[in-house]
Structure 1
């Protein structure tokens, strides 16, 4: 019998801030860019559940989050507290949480800084798997003073969906024979890989729930979504054969910055890129990553057109100088007509490293929430 668990920390960044600053307890908390009185240009990284009551959520423009907070304030509700991202601290707490997981289960696959899959098959029953997860959640609460939501299912797909249904501090068990009925009433957006555009396409043909989507054949879904349609056909039926793998490889460690004013100033852009590269190396080193091979640069223009370019080195390196050099080489074409023939101003740049390596330490993936 295969049994898989998925742990998802609740509003992780905001929960850490509230834990470490008692004066924040009970208040709506937003972790992300500086709102600058509604003129900030970044996004929300995490919002706690109080802030979510205002409509504030991850990836929301920080300026809109500020306006929602101000609207709540006018209604006599407490305004949100806006806090900067402290990624190194969050990564440190994440490492502690993963260590706690490994005391209860043998095989753990970190999926991001605040979530992980783990194999519960050795429990040989869902009853015992649930008991193990309850003890795991209690240990995280006692040791870290944080809550986590856990899903248990016959595969990674079902476990992940289950972990998100009863947040915060939830525990949802879906046995193998219950998968079809569990998924049927859920909105299609619940299925990983279905974003707002796909959701809108499906809504146009009257598909709103997983059950609705099951009425399409595999061929029909391939016709609608190409190769991805075959994958969606399997997912809406709760099928997933992907293994839980301890040798998880972090996809990337990166930083990005949205500028207060759109700019074409090459000196300013190169200075910010150098500083971001230093931050990336600091974060990677803090997580025990020793080498990288790929450098990726992202540029977003003032009209929101976004382009990414990358370069993979012939051999891995841990050199900041190499990272900065490669990042500059990737940026240069955006400062002339090779990548920017219309001379558009730049709104955002980001740099990240991929193909990460580490020795003697379990990888902990870093994602900006």
Structure 2
């Protein structure tokens, strides 16, 4: 039986929900994320709608940069950006509604994130039938939650994922197995999952700018350039991917992080922030059905954006706030003196993660 995989990606998900729920936000550039504080905000953009993206504002853009881009557009006579805070409980509720619709149409699905999922459409037995079913699914989602989704269909997860982003918003892109290589050939290297800015730069220095260029490399040459990742990317640029759908993805860690309003080395402020993060982690631990953890990880980002993580694994599992608080304090202290912070840099961001969940 021919393998047919779909990737469904909600369009500007957080922003689209806010536009749906607040008519005044429709038809204007919109950013969901941290408070810009008049250009002094320190977080990042979570989601921007397509009008804001036209200003150069995308996910993970520093919120201060988003503010400056909005102000530049306003001075040029364009609409200013509306900034809205993240409402994760609301988005999670909508996501659950969408997944309920998806499972009515597709028996085997893998939810990849809050706003995207893979589905095995092999049971349709043809790309044409898979496309028709996907159109019906998109319509059912819109009827249920009044939001649009884009779908990519291909012979594997790799092709489906790339295809879903080709004609947003409200798109449907079908790539048959025999067309997979030609579909990828003209795309920039960054379109391939696993090729980030550093790998892209390394390949660019060798004269490679698009997928077609690197297909001239042998597997051995790929390994020489990229090490152990070379074999994986050698297969990907040829449109080959045997990664299975995982219906029940195991949660391996739970984390919370926050960018501080101002950089600081004030231990009391840092401990207050860590207390809030720790309570968030413990709440989510219970919500996900876990009783305890064994590894605690503290992440610190300094004012110069250097980021360091330190971890400690307990001899016995623990599941209480008192233990988490004690371990985080132990991990934090070296960052307040010259052991982990010889230049006495102020701290910009803190994060807590627990692993080895039980």
Find the counterpart in structure 1 of residue 4 from structure 2.
Answer: 3
Deviation at 1:238, TM superposition (A): 0.9
- In structure 2, the residue corresponding to 1:197 is in which secondary structure? helix
Find the counterpart in structure 2 of residue 105 from structure 1.
Answer: 106
Question: Any conservation in 2 of the 1:291–1:316 contact (CA below 8 Å)?
Answer: no
Provide runs of 4+ in structure 1 moved above 6 Å. none
Find the counterpart in structure 2 of residue 140 from structure 1.
Answer: 141
Deviation at 1:333, TM superposition (A): 2.3
Deviation at 1:157, TM superposition (A): 0.6
Deviations 1:91-149 (A, max 9, x none): 12111111111111111111111111111111111111111111111111110111111
Find the counterpart in structure 2 of residue 63 from structure 1.
Answer: 64
Q: What does 1:31-180 correspond to in 2, within 5 Å?
A: 31-180=32-181
Q: What does 1:1-369 correspond to in 2, within 5 Å?
A: 1-283=2-284, 285=286, 288-291=288-291, 293=293, 294-313=295-314, 318-355=319-356
* Higher RCO (C-alpha under 8 Å, 6+ residues apart): 1
Deviations 1:29-82 (A, max 9, x none): 111111111111111111111100100001111111100000111111111111
- In structure 2, the residue corresponding to 1:226 is in which secondary structure? helix
Superposition TM-score, scaled by structure 2 size = 0.94
**RMSD of aligned Cα (Å):** 1.8
User: Alpha carbons of 1:314 and 1:129: their partners in 2 closer, same or farther (altered >3 Å)?
Assistant: farther
User: Alpha carbons of 1:205 and 1:251: their partners in 2 closer, same or farther (altered >3 Å)?
Assistant: same
CA distance in 2, matches of 1:306, 1:109: 31
Deviation at 1:184, TM superposition (A): 0.6
Structure 1, 312-321 or 296-305: larger mean CA deviation: 312-321
CA distance in 2, matches of 1:305, 1:65: 22
Deviations 1:161-180 (A, max 9, x none): 11111111111111111101
Deviation at 1:154, TM superposition (A): 0.7
CA distance in 1, matches of 2:292, 2:76: 50
Structure 1, 141-150 or 255-264: larger mean CA deviation: 255-264
Deviation at 1:182, TM superposition (A): 0.6
Question: Any conservation in 2 of the 1:292–1:353 contact (CA below 8 Å)?
Answer: no
Deviation at 1:324, TM superposition (A): 3.2
Deviation at 1:329, TM superposition (A): 2.8
Deviations 1:211-260 (A, max 9, x none): 11111111111111111111111110111111101121235443222223
CA distance in 1, matches of 2:80, 2:133: 39
Question: Any conservation in 2 of the 1:295–1:351 contact (CA below 8 Å)?
Answer: yes
Deviations 1:11-44 (A, max 9, x none): 1111111111111111111111111111111111
Find the counterpart in structure 2 of residue 361 from structure 1.
Answer: none
Question: Any conservation in 2 of the 1:88–1:283 contact (CA below 8 Å)?
Answer: no
User: Alpha carbons of 1:317 and 1:150: their partners in 2 closer, same or farther (altered >3 Å)?
Assistant: farther
- In structure 1, the residue corresponding to 2:290 is in which secondary structure? strand
CA distance in 2, matches of 1:79, 1:283: 36
- In structure 2, the residue corresponding to 1:56 is in which secondary structure? coil
CA distance in 2, matches of 1:53, 1:252: 35
Q: Which runs of 5+ in 1 are unaligned?
A: 358-369
Superposition TM-score, scaled by structure 1 size = 0.91
Structure 1, 304-313 or 44-53: larger mean CA deviation: 304-313
Deviations 1:188-209 (A, max 9, x none): 1100011112212222222111
Deviation at 1:314, TM superposition (A): 5.5
CA distance in 2, matches of 1:171, 1:324: 48
